[in-house]
Amino acid sequence: MLFGAVGQCITMILLAVLGSVRGTGAQVVSAILLFVFNSFFAIGWLGMTWLYVSCSLLASCSLHEIHISLHQPAEIVGLEIRAPANALSTCI
């Protein structure tokens, strides 16, 4: 997660600097940096999730079920009940 956070920080600094520069080259680089920022976000969170899942599989199956229950509602429920489903799964 620290690697992802450092990458996001550097990317945001570069985006802030390029925001004051005019020109199409700066705009293209800024657009690419937005994708780089999202990539660092995914690397940081996926790294944490991988570590959590591997530790929970070694510890017991119940922890793995809790991990799935926290992330599943955001993916499978409709937009109408997404917020209540996420709140309920987090409380559980």
Write the DSSP string, 29-76. HHHHHHHHHHHHHHHHHHHHHHHHHHHHHHH-HHHHHHHHHHHSHHHH
Query: What pLDDT shows up at residue 2?
Result: 85
Query: What pLDDT shows up at residue 64?
Result: 46
Query: What pLDDT shows up at residue 63?
Result: 47
Query: What pLDDT shows up at residue 66?
Result: 47
Q: How far is 28 from 36, CA to CA, in rounded Å?
A: 13
Q: How far is 76 from 79, CA to CA, in rounded Å?
A: 10
Low-confidence residues of the chain, pLDDT below 50? 61-66, 69
Query: What pLDDT shows up at residue 55?
Result: 54
